[in-house]
Amino acid sequence: MRLSARNKITATVTAVTRGEATANVVLDAGGVRLVASITVEAADELGLAEGKQVIAVVKASDVIVAVSD
């Protein structure tokens, strides 16, 4: 697989929670927890299940962090 994206993170699936249309996929990226929301169809097509090795590709160009006082 070759991608132009540079934000690629190797991870392991730790949980998949399927709703009617969206699946929340919990990833362990070297001790960092990431959660991706994808379609159930995509989760099924990728065969996502606990223990599967994946690459998370982050396509967002901005990360905004805020705190309230």
Token pair 């994206």: residue: 5
10: pLDDT strictly greater than 90: yes
Q: What's the token pair of residue 3? A: 């991608």
pLDDT of residue 45: 97
**Number of domains the chain is built from:** 1
Instruction: Give the residue, 62 or 46, on which the prediction is more confident.
Output: 46
Q: For residue 53, what is the domain's CATH number?
A: 2.40.50.100
**13 within 8 A of 56, measured Cβ to Cβ:** no
Which residue range is the domain that position 16 belongs to?
8-57
* 12-54 residue pLDDT tens: 999 999 999 999 999 999 999 999 999 999 999 999 999 999 9
- Let me know if residue 36 belongs to a domain: yes
61: number of CA atoms within 13 Å, CB side? 0
- Let me know if residue 29 belongs to a domain: yes
- Let me know if residue 62 belongs to a domain: no
- Let me know if residue 46 belongs to a domain: yes
- Let me know if residue 16 belongs to a domain: yes
pTM of the complete model: 0.83
